[in-house]
Amino acid sequence: MIEFLQANMAPVMFMGLFMFLLMGYSVAFSLAACGLFFAFIGIELGMLPASLMQALPLRIFGIMKNDTLLAIPFFTFMGLILERSGMAEDLLDTIGQLFGPIRGGLAYAVIFVGAMLAATTGVVAASVISMGLISLPLMLRYGYDRRLASGVIAASGTLAQIIPPSLVLIVIADQIGRSVGDLYAGAFIPGFMLMSLYVGWVFLLTLIKPNMAPALPLEARTFREANGSAGMRSVGVLFLISVGGAVAFAKSRAAEAPTDETIVLSMCVGIGIAFTLAMLNRVTKLGLLSRMAERVTFVLIPPLALIFLVLGTIFLGIATPTEGGAMGAMGALIMAVARRRLSLKLLTQAMDATTKLSAFVMFILLGATVFSLTFQAVDGHIWVEHLLTGLPGGQIGFLVVVNILIFVLAFFLDFFELAFIVLPLLAPVADKLGIDLVWFGILMAVNMQTSFMHPPFGFALFYLRSVAPHTDYIDKVTKKKTARITTGQIYWGAVPFVVIQVIMVAILIAFPGIVTGSLEKTKQLSAEEVGLQFEGAGGVDPSYGSPGLPTGWGEDPKGPAAGDAKADALDSLAPPADAKAADAKADDPAAALMQEVAKEKKSK
């Protein structure tokens, strides 16, 4: 038994974690307890040195010093303030009137507002609950199919997981060792592509079954002109002028400009044109724009300005994600004050919810740190690497198996648990296979999005169930009896959108440029190119006579060994291995201690 345990400690430890979870203990304490339990067993069996646990305080302090994680409470606080200040209500009311005259108009409005809330709040619960409270009664009142209505609201709320500033992307960036800005840039286009797929599904349904999503009746369209028209022509003209200005600005930028910067700046130009024209029309009272055009412009400007304040400054390199989150939180407070919605009760509720969520994330991260320390000490990362690198099909085989694994685990685990438990085991293998980790992180984020939509444990479905009518009720406007929404209708409504999310995963695997095309490319230099640049910069004088440099350095040698000579010269300038080890110990004591543990195991 002891021999079996010594030979298979890593898989036994992994199965032990799932046993802790199945027993009903919380994830954070299950991770920590599993790590400490198997560390004690490993030390007692002589597999691990007693000094292993000395690395734990260093790792915990490393988490506490991580500035990137400060973005989580900032973005959470921003989202809660916006959700409670009535911004979602104004957006849904205005966009619903804008799209109301067409079939599926309310569904389009929910998807559009879901994307807007995702880009301003980054919190799935806030988006789903807000749209469920405001839009669901309207959609039921005007004859929308219950499965379509519930599915659209739940799926649109989950856009907050992939569209920046997503909390999930912050956690993933921390786990895979990449910058939050790179993941935000890579997720920008896929997020809006997913929104477009949702719109396409609703449009297809309105063609096949028009009765599932009827247009708003005339009496429900409240924004009308004096002559009785809806004022849609004015909205169209203003939209075309704004888009034309944005496109002209985008074409005027250099071809090598980053895609995300071009998109953000072009959107700002288009929004600025629309706002300027609307203000001129209101001040001069020319009557060139309809009430609908003015209303849409002035309702959309505050959240769009907040999006630029957060994402624009991050993409343009003006602010880090943490600083962008702080500015977003301040901007949300200013918007709440301007709308006269900020009160002590609202502020207390937002701060209380932010503290709870931040503590929840930090406790899971601390538990995951304890687990990973022991798991790596028993060579668990090597076991996972051998398990996954041996799959047939190379990169594609690895991606297919990993995505199926994440999809299945999402039935039982939420995105935080997947990000803290599974992702740290997969990312090193992906890196060794030559997979871009930013692309891999976005791929996992889209896949983990299904954890919110999976029947029967999807959190977005639970959020919607909490605000959907449980019993039949009398509608306040029509005075007619309206049937309740069943849990089965919510589950079946989510299924098509889960399929769409899986299709999005397949698209990202087939076309990785959708993600990587938005990232700035860094040129990789060979040893010979580094030597030439070093020589050209005058870093070494060949006549100085340094004993470490080969003869002919600085000349133009002929023959195949020229590049090798310069590479050897560069190697000779590097510090010795002992010096590197000493620097490593000074920079990262925890890593140095893990190296000592590995050496001690090899010596045994």
Mean pLDDT of 572-580: 44
Separation of alpha carbons 187 and 164, rounded Å: 7
Q: What's the mean pLDDT when you consider all of the chain?
A: 78
> Strand, helix or coil at 368?
helix
518: confidence class by pLDDT, cuts 50, 70, 90: low
Mean pLDDT of 175-195: 87
Q: What is the pLDDT of residues 126-151, one digit of tens each?
A: 778 778 887 888 888 888 888 999 99
Q: Is the pLDDT of residue 197 over 90?
A: yes
Q: Is the pLDDT of residue 554 over 60?
A: no
Mean pLDDT of 371-382: 82
Question: Alpha carbon of 580 to those of 177, 418, 594: distances in Å?
Answer: 22, 35, 16
pLDDT of residue 531: 53
Partners of residue 473 on adjacent β-strands? 482
Residue 7 or residue 571, greater confidence: 7
Could you identify the residue written with the tokens 């009398």? 474
* Closest to 151 (Cα-Cα) out of 191, 110, 182: 110
User: Do strands 481-482 and 473-474 pair parallel, antiparallel, or not at all (unpaired)?
Assistant: antiparallel
Amino acid in position 277: L
**In this predicted structure, which of 32-41, 128-137, 502-511 has the lowest mean pLDDT?**
128-137
Do residues 293 and 278 make contact, with C-beta atoms less than 8 angstroms apart?
A: yes
* Closest to 128 (Cα-Cα) out of 175, 94, 173, 161: 161
| 482 DSSP assignment | E
Question: Alpha carbon of 565 to those of 554, 558, 569, 570, 573: distances in Å?
Answer: 11, 11, 6, 9, 13
Separation of alpha carbons 440 and 508, rounded Å: 10
Residue 482: phi and psi, rounded to 5, are: -115, 130
> Strand, helix or coil at 474?
strand
Separation of alpha carbons 72 and 173, rounded Å: 12
Q: What is the pLDDT of residues 244-271, one digit of tens each?
A: 998 998 888 877 777 767 877 888 888 8
Separation of alpha carbons 205 and 246, rounded Å: 32
Do residues 117 and 135 make contact, with C-beta atoms less than 8 angstroms apart?
A: no
pLDDT of residue 469: 82
What are the sequence ranges of the domains in the chain?
85-216+389-522, 223-342, 530-603
Burial of 54 (0-12, 13-18, 19+ CB in 10 A): middle
Amino acid in position 276: T
Amino acid in position 368: A
Q: How many residues appear in the chain?
A: 604
Beta-carbon contacts of residue 573 (< 8 Å; ≥ 6 apart): 548
Rounded to 10 deg, the angle between the 180-208 and 146-157 helix axes is 170
Q: What is the pLDDT of residues 265-282, one digit of tens each?
A: 888 888 888 888 888 888
Amino acid in position 261: E
Do residues 151 and 138 make contact, with C-beta atoms less than 8 angstroms apart?
A: no
CA angle 194, 198, 203 (to 5 degrees): 140
Separation of alpha carbons 338 and 256, rounded Å: 40
93: confidence class by pLDDT, cuts 50, 70, 90: confident
| 217 DSSP assignment | P
Q: What is the pLDDT of residues 306-343, one digit of tens each?
A: 888 787 787 777 888 888 888 888 988 988 888 888 88
pLDDT of residue 324: 85
> Strand, helix or coil at 473?
strand
| 517 DSSP assignment | T
Mean pLDDT of 74-101: 80
pLDDT of residue 521: 52
Mean pLDDT of 39-58: 83
Amino acid in position 286: L
Beta-carbon contacts of residue 572 (< 8 Å; ≥ 6 apart): 548, 549
390: confidence class by pLDDT, cuts 50, 70, 90: confident
Q: What is the pLDDT of residues 413-449, one digit of tens each?
A: 777 778 888 888 888 888 888 888 999 999 998 988 8
Could you identify the residue written with the tokens 């045994």? 604
pLDDT of residue 592: 55
Q: What is the pLDDT of residues 454-480, one digit of tens each?
A: 777 777 888 888 888 888 777 776 778
pLDDT of residue 540: 44
Instruction: Evaluate the CA torsion angle 23, 24, 27, 28 in order and state its sign.
Output: negative
Separation of alpha carbons 448 and 426, rounded Å: 14
